[in-house]
């Protein structure tokens, strides 16, 4: 199977970055969000990385969403 990283439409709080990463590695999105929050508190790198990821990772296309359901 050819997995691709997309921002999540279903596990979305802000832009779906953490939910998309969680879906890609098959873990709970809460774990990814906690790691991201730790990075934000540790020098602010989490915020910078989140903004970069939000710009780089594409939104999941509609046709892929319908296939997943």
> pLDDT tens for residues 30-54?
999 998 888 888 887 888 888 999 9
Q: What is the DSSP letter of 60?
A: P
Q: Residue 27, SS3? A: coil
Judge whether residue 69 has pLDDT over 60: no
Q: What is the mean pLDDT of the chain?
A: 85
Widest CA span in the chain: 40
Contact 40, 46 (CB under 8 A): yes
Domains in the chain: boundaries: 17-68
């Amino acid at each position: 199977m050819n997995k691709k990283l997309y921002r999540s439409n279903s596990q979305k709080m802000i832009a779906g970055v953490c939910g998309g990463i969680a879906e890609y590695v098959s873990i709970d999105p809460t774990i990814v969000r906690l790691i991201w929050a730790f990075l934000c508190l540790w020098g602010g790198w989490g915020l910078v990385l989140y903004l970069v990821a939000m710009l780089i990772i594409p939104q999941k296309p509609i046709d892929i969403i319908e296939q997943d359901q």
